[in-house]
Amino acid sequence: MKLSYGLLLSALSALALAAPLAQDEIKQNAASGLRLLSLEDGAEPVWKTADEKLELMKTGTKFFDVTETYERKQALAANKAKMVARETCLRTDPTPSHQSELYGALNLIAAEPMQAYLDELTSTFNNRYYNSSTGKAASDYVLKVANQFANTHDLVSVSKFEHSGFEQYSVIARIEGSTDGPVTIIGAHLDAINSQDPVNGRAPGADDDGTGVVNLMEGMRTLINFGFAPTMPIEFHWYAAGDAGLLGSQDVATKYAEDGIEVRGFMELERSGYYASGTKQVIALQADNVDADLNEFVKSLVDTYADIPWVMNTPCGYACADHASWTAAGFAAVSPYEAITGDDNPKAHTENDISRGIDWGHSIQFTKLAVSFLYELAA
């Protein structure tokens, strides 16, 4: 058989493309400021300059920035046996069964504290760009609030999760269980950008994702005040760099997979403070890159504990929010959202995403959902 030279060349280059990136190439490119971005499911990631990455952020293109996690994920994929099976964590069909206690806890949830945290978060910093001093100061603020709750309680600890290569850090608060695990987690991203000018533009980030940030704070305050002493541990994660390629949540989720940490379920709260006037008020469940069984459980939580119904959202897309980082790392994740996409907040990523624009009657439903998720899975 005679293979033409051209055919041979293209066969070779296909081979070269399919082969994983070499460690040296990643080191050198990253050192020269290039970023490795995964833009599509199943496709190899591509190198982009820092400016090209900023352009993608301006157009709202979603991606995983895998510069620091690519090799770690390759190593995990090669060692699947080490990963905790999702079935061992979720166990079989959880159903809401703590109504009598939980209604008491849900009654402690209030809008005023959420509003106060959000007013401070949105007015103190010009924006919360992940690689800036104000981005880091926003992490400091979240750390301070979480520490205020933790200081009142022996079972609660708060820690920084620092990331290599940029200034902002993630914050993790944990309430210990009477057993080691699996752990139940809720998350939100603490960074905020103006898509016209991500580095310098004014970005209060009230709804995106200040609401998620304060849903977690109020959930933590409520469970501590209620004296929740779970059987299994629970954690609150405030992520750095959600709008910059999900850098924070990827780093954390990859670390949990590497450490073999069992996760019962992960819930991301990404925007909860708006729905278009004239539309029905709902909790819109993201349908892609989530765990179908955990979504079924969330539906039963909404039916039992929220005052508004759930609906399934239209597809959110690749790398759409931090839950995608957990799904990609092999964990069961869900993400309830403020509205059907299209009826969601048009002011996100602009200077007009302000605290005054938040509908607290709507947002409080998501704090209720977060508290019931943690309580029912960890009690």
Ligand X SMILES: *[C@@H]1O[C@H](CO)[C@@H](O)[C@H](O)[C@H]1NC(C)=O
Q: Where does this chain bind ligand X (CB under 6 A)?
A: 33, 50, 131, 165-166
Q: Which is nearer to ligand X, 64 or 274 (CB)?
A: 64
Task: Report the nearest approach of ligand X to the CB of residue 248 (Å).
Answer: 11
Give me the least distance between CB of 32 and ligand X, in Å please: 10
What the block records as the tokens of 295 is 């979504």
Q: Are 347 and 207 in contact (CB under 8 A)?
A: yes
Which residue's CB comes closest to ligand X? 131
CB of 37 to ligand X, least distance (A): 11
Q: Which is nearer to ligand X, 33 or 315 (CB)?
A: 33
Q: Strand locations in the chain, DSSP E? A: 35-38, 46-48, 64-65, 156-161, 170-175, 183-189, 234-239, 263-268, 283-285, 310-312, 333-334, 336-337
Nearer to ligand X, 49 or 95 (CB): 49
CA distances from 269 to 127, 288, 328 (A): 20, 15, 17
Instruction: Give least dist CB 65 to ligand X, A.
Output: 7
CB nearer to ligand X: give 50 or 85.
50
Nearer to ligand X, 53 or 271 (CB): 53
Output 167 or 270, the one with its CB closest to ligand X: 167
The nearest distance, CB 33 to ligand X, in angstroms, is 5
Query: Between residues 132 and 289, which has the closer beta carbon with respect to ligand X?
Result: 132
Burial class (CB in 10 A: 0-12, 13-18, 19+), 1: exposed
Residues contacting 154, CB < 8 A, separation 6+: none
DSSP assignment of 183-223, as one string? Answer: EEEEEEE--B--TTSTTTS----IIIIIIHHHHHHHHHHHH
With the C-alpha atoms ordered 96, 97, 102, 104, is the resulting torsion angle positive or negative?
Answer: positive
In the complex, what is the shortest distance from the CB of residue 319 to ligand X, in angstroms, rounded to a whole number?
16
Is the distance from CB of 326 to CB of 266 less than 8 angstroms?
Answer: yes
Nearer to ligand X, 133 or 178 (CB): 133
Strand-pairing partners, residue 172, are 159, 237
Residue with tokens 């059907």: 340
Output the six-digit token pair for 142: 């979240």
* Residues 226, 103: Cα–Cα separation, whole Å: 11
